[in-house]
Amino acid sequence: MMKAIVLKDFGSIDNFELAEVDTPIVTPNDILVKIKATAFNPIDYQMRQGATESKLLKSPILGRELSGIVSQIGEQVTGFTIGDRVTAYVGSLASNGTYAEFISIPQQLVAKTPTSLSFAQATALPMVSMTAMQCFQRANIPKEKPVFISGGAGGVGTLLIKLLLVNGNNELITTAGNEDSKNQLISLGLNPDNIINYHEPDFFEKIQSKCTNGKFEYCIDLVGGKMSEVCANLLQVHGVYVDVTFLATEQARETLFDKATIIINVANFAYSLTGNSNDTAFYGSALNEIFNKINDSIISPIDINIIGNLSVETVQKAHLMMERNETRGKKLVMIND
């Protein structure tokens, strides 16, 4: 048996409870991992609320990324041994979510954790790094083109900005709502003049001034909602809109359609839809690529905030902080000593 934080029903954070459940069974292709740390993502509270993302829920235990130690391996598993430090993004492909002591994971989802990273640092990387990698690779933005990125101070944004800067994309414009976020972006190497405070009444005009004729060919939207309307209005006809949230408003969708915009949807779970192991291998290989870049000092880990141990109280706190936008650009992490 193992301890887990279980969601009894959709809705309030009061629907979480601590429970004793069966330890997952290890199938021939699986790795059983003792979870040492897990990170929280906005999709977690959206699932809890019963939003569209809840259709992905295959277990009453939420959580989609983890770092831990290999406890058992299936007979067909290669390249891993008991005691290895590993990290994974599991989506809905594992035995359960990551708010638990153990999880059984298909081996193609798993990557070995660099010794330079703590469990807490490592667990913060899978979801944001894979999202950032997809934005970077699929948009394939020419180096000389200016790019507007909404929400650049978040986990996905900081990694994406690092990847673009290393690639030679220097005309990056983004938004920040406070000095901490602005300083964080400056520390990445971003031009301070290209960081616009979205609380200022003329922030839209300031973004426009950073691009010829006030229109961008590329916008990457990491926020959605009202910011999707900002992106839609900033884009030129036949521009490219990279959508990570699927939270564009009706007005934004209408503007994007009228401009015949090229829309690139980025969703990590897409690789799981075919059920083909060659597709799901993306998860492990993408994470290995990010770890290699960290080992080579090309990029660095993202900022984290360890908010507690495995408990109902920690999960509730994390969900409220995400809903209230109180993370301040740091990935929230729960550890399991």
Task: Specify whether 215 is located in the same domain as 281.
Answer: no
**Domain housing 246:** 128-266
Question: Given the DSSP bridges, would you call strands 172-176 and 147-150 parallel, antiparallel or unpaired?
Answer: parallel
Which among 100, 111, 116, 114 has a CA at the least distance from the CA of 37? 100
Residue 329 has pLDDT above 90, yes or no: no
What pLDDT is recorded for position 310?
98
Reported as a single tens digit per residue, the pLDDT across 92-116 is 889 999 999 999 999 999 999 999 9
Domain stop point among 245, 266, 287: 266
Reported as a single tens digit per residue, the pLDDT across 230-286 is 999 999 999 999 999 889 999 999 999 999 999 999 988 888 877 777 788 889 999
CATH of the domain at 14: 3.90.180.10
Residue 67 has pLDDT above 90, yes or no: yes
Give the phi and the psi of residue 335 in degrees, each rounded to 5. Answer: -105, 160
Average pLDDT for 147-165? 93
What pLDDT is recorded for position 92?
83
Burial status of residue 105 (CB atoms within 10 A of its CB: 0-12, 13-18, 19 or more): buried
Q: Is the pTM of this model over 0.95?
A: no
Residue 157 has pLDDT above 80, yes or no: yes
For helices 126-139 and 155-167, angle between their N-to-C axes, nearest 10 degrees: 40
pLDDT band with cut points at 50, 70 and 90 for residue 330: confident
Dig out the tokens for 191 from the structure: 């031009």
Domain stop point among 266, 292, 311: 266
Q: How far is residue 98's CA from residue 122's CA, in Å, rounded to a whole number?
A: 14
Task: Specify whether 195 is located in the same domain as 310.
Answer: no
In a domain, 297, yes or no: yes
In a domain, 271, yes or no: no
